[in-house]
A = this chain, B = another copy of it.
Amino acid sequence: MLSKEVVELSKQHSIIRDIFEYGMKRAKEVGAENVFDFSIGNPSVPAPKEIDETALRLLKTADPVDIHGYTSNAGVLEVRENIAKSLNKRFDTNYTAANIFMTIGAAAALGICFKTLVDGPEDEVITFAPHFPEYAVYAQGAGCRLKVISADTRAFQINFEELEETISEHTKAILINSPNNPSGVVYSRETIEKLAALLEKKQKEYGHSIYIISDEPYREIAYDGFEVPYVPHFYNNTLVAYSFSKSLSLPGERIGYIVAPNEAEDFEQLLPAFIASARLLSYVCVPTLYQKVVGECVDLTSDLSIYQKNKDLFYNALVDMGYECVEPGGAFYLFPKALEEDANAFCEKAKEYDLLIVPGDSFGCPGYVRISYCVPTERIEKALPLFKKLIDDYRK
């Protein structure tokens, strides 16, 4: 007698989780040092030392009731002010606390944006393959449809032809994710400009706003030679969903925010609407202590240099071996083409070498695989000869 929708969802297998669990089991059989789990996208570097130092200081000096007390729905004013100031310095904006709404991570930021923008099952949010699989679940939770534009497998930018055909009067938002999970690709300035121009046209055509929701948990992990354009500079109706999970290596503490620029058409209504949406999702406030800790550390990041090092090593080596792969501009994923048509079969083959990687089918992009390189560099060094053997196998 439980909810049919919920029971149905509970039966869907997460392939990433299956691979992760296989890896744990396999490690017991052959030793953890011989299993190369590139399936999970968790930060592998600790938070900067200032994070825990700030936590320790606040626990010792702040009012003991206040430091664990409720905060207002939108977040602690000083935290929102600090985030606004930090963004102003970096992006030459004029934000104040009124532009920042604190959320329980980027997942909540997306759920709240969806809930705020969509009105019923006819409404649509459009995103692009390859994409983070949970987008579909958050859209379902907000009661709307997620439409997925097929991948531009040439450059992993945007398939504009299909996008233009797909946008309809029911389209309420376009969800982008750059640097991208799973492709690692950064959308170029040209891509963002083209997207903005198309949406301006479509807004006029349908006579209502179409928002860009820019999901940016990987913004700070961008590589030499790549620029991550700041989307609100290109398009007024942009909501930025951000998380400190990756930049400060705090995924478990669930601290994120939404930016709502003054230029957005519904700006005056947005913050109260976010509060209402958060209440509908049963949120009360963002965890207090680490919200305040993050608020004092907004200009810091973890030591992210390992991801650049891993990317250079891993990407160059795979391409040299003959793997076909787009160059990642950020995040911590490679997304090469599988060496046979069925990426699932390819991942099974890789498993024979204890290389654990994820079929692109999970991300709406069959024929490709995701390799997470948020691991110690030695793991990659040790795995490279196995990737060589794997490709040699296919060449026999």
| B-binding residues in A (CB < 8 A) | 1-7, 9-11, 42-47, 51-52, 55-56, 59, 64-65, 67-71, 104-105, 107-108, 110-112, 115-119, 134, 137-138, 140-141, 143, 172, 208-209, 249-254, 265-266, 269-270, 272-273, 275-277, 279-285, 287-290
Residue from A6, A172, A269, A272 having most chain B Cβ neighbours under 10 A: A6
Q: B68–A251 contact, CB under 8 A?
A: yes
Give 28 A-B contacts (CB < 8 Å), ordered by A residue: A1-B266, A2-B117, A2-B266, A3-B115, A3-B118, A3-B277, A6-B115, A6-B116, A6-B277, A7-B273, A10-B272, A10-B276, A11-B272, A42-B69, A46-B64, A46-B68, A56-B56, A68-B253, A107-B283, A110-B282, A138-B279, A138-B282, A143-B143, A252-B287, A254-B284, A254-B287, A287-B287, A289-B290
Cα(A134)–Cα(B70), bound, Å: 15
Whether A70 and B42, one on each chain, are in contact in the complex, defined by CB atoms closer than 8 angstroms, is yes
Of chain B, the residue at the smallest CB distance from A285 is B252
Q: How far is the CA of A140 from the CA of B143 in the complex (A)?
A: 12
Residues of B close to A115: CB separation below 8 A? 3, 6
A68 lies within 8 A of B252 (CB): yes
Of the candidates B71, B209, B251, the one whose C-beta lies within 8 Å of that of A252 is: B71
Question: How many identical subunits does the complex contain?
Answer: 2
Which of chain B's residues have a CB closer than 8 A to the CB of A59?
52, 55-56
Residues from chain B with Cβ under 8 Å of A208 in the complex: 1
**CA–CA, A79 and B312, complex, Å:** 40
Q: Which residues of B contact A287 (CB under 8 A)?
A: 252-254, 287, 290
B69 touches A276 (CB 8 A): no
Give bound CA distance, A279 to B14, whole Å: 12
Knowing A4-B119, A252-B70 touch, does A137 contact B280 (C-beta < 8 A)? yes
A72 to chain B, nearest CB (A): 9
Complex: chain B residue closest to A248, CB-CB: B68
A272: B residues at CB distance < 8 A: 7, 10-11
Which residue of the partner chain, among B65, B110, B111, B117, contacts A46 with CB atoms under 8 Å? B65
Note all chain B residues with C-beta closer than 8 A to A249. Answer: 65, 68
Q: How far is the CB of A232 from chain B (nearest CB, A)?
A: 18
Chain B hits for A285, CB < 8 A = 252, 254
Min Cβ gap A139→B in Å is: 10
- Which of the residues B3, B46, B250, B269 comes within 8 Å of A116, measured between beta carbons? B3
CB A22 to nearest CB in B, in angstroms, measures 16
Establish whether residues B279 and A9, one from each chain, have CB atoms under 8 Å apart when the complex forms.
yes
**A231 nearest CB across to chain B (Å):** 19
A283 touches B6 (CB 8 A): no
3 A-B pairs with least C-beta separation: A111-B282, A252-B288, A141-B280
- Which residues of the partner chain B approach A104 to less than 8 Å between Cβ atoms? 104, 254, 283
Task: Tell me which of B143, B279, B290 contacts A137 (CB under 8 A).
Answer: B279
**Chain B residues within an 8 Å CB radius of A9:** 276, 279-280
